[in-house]
Chain A
Amino acid sequence: AQKVTQAQTEISVVEKEDVTLDCVYETRDTTYYLFWYKQPPSGELVFLIRRNSFDEQNEISGRYSWNFQKSTSSFNFTITASQVVDSAVYFCALWTKAAGNKLTFGGGTRVLVKP
């Protein structure tokens, strides 16, 4: 079975601080994809990144960076120099061949960035 755990339910930081969101996944499949989504107060889920299991390179996009470590089954997300607009709920998700059409979501981490 597939499982995604986001142990941090809520993180509060002051603007310009860095914040790291943890994501730990479980799967027996060797082929899988990992995703991060952002859900701002408006509610829509915004796609941030997709990473397949054969690509362990870390990625940076502006103030966002992702650290994929297969050895620890983790796909952590860091926001550098956080801004108030980063306040949202962030979801990590897993797709595996065994799950077919479905994504397995973590419970989400609420990030509150205070000015």
Chain B
Amino acid sequence: SQTIHQWPATLVQPVGSPLSLECTVEGTSNPNLYWYRQAAGRGLQLLFYSVGIGQISSEVPQNLSASRPQDRQFILSSKKLLLSDSGFYLCAWRYYRWTGDEGDTQYFGPGTRLTVL
């Protein structure tokens, strides 16, 4: 079976500090990977997605970046955090398919709660 891990679970960082959040998936190969952010009391905002190693698509221009150094590893980074970066960050994966049924379910990790002070 597949599992998705995120760490850290919680993080408190000062404004201007760097950020690195990690997401890993087990039990599947070449998954599509996603980073979402959820501000307090708000809906989900897609930040980045990746269909393969080194392939990153950005949805929202901001001071965040994403990287995929390995097949099942997805990293969210920032060089200098802003107050507005506070939120709940969720990683998700889905099966990658060349053709056919593409409306596959996205499965989410446990999330990282980030507070920027």
Contacts and interface: CB of A to CB of B under 8 A. Distances in A.
Interface string A86-115: 000001000101000111011110000000
A35 interface: yes
B16 to A, nearest CB: 26
A64 interface: no
A51 to B, nearest CB: 10
Nearest to B59: A102
Contact of A32 (B42, B51, B103): B103
A52 B111 contact: no
The B interface is mostly helix, strand or loop, or mixed, namely strand
Given A45-B90, A101-B49, A106-B43, A50 B103 contact: yes
A50 B108 contact: no
B53 interface: no
B43 A42 contact: no
Name the residue in B32, B102, B105, B108 with the highest tally of chain A Cβ atoms < 10 Å from its Cβ: B105
A101 B44 contact: no
B103 A33 contact: yes
Given A91-B44, A102-B49, A44 B103 contact: no
Interface in B81-100: 88, 90, 92
Contacts of B44: 91, 105
Contact of B46 (A32, A45, A102): A102
Nearest to B111: A43
A44 B110 contact: yes
B88 A47 contact: no
Interface of A: 31-33, 35, 37, 42-47, 50, 52, 91, 95, 97, 101-103, 105-108
Given A47-B106, A107-B43, 14 more contacts: A32-B103, A44-B90, A44-B109, A45-B90, A45-B108, A46-B108, A47-B107, A47-B108, A50-B105, A97-B102, A101-B49, A102-B49, A106-B43, A107-B42
11 contacts: A37-B108, A43-B90, A44-B111, A45-B90, A47-B106, A50-B103, A52-B103, A91-B43, A103-B46, A105-B44, A106-B43
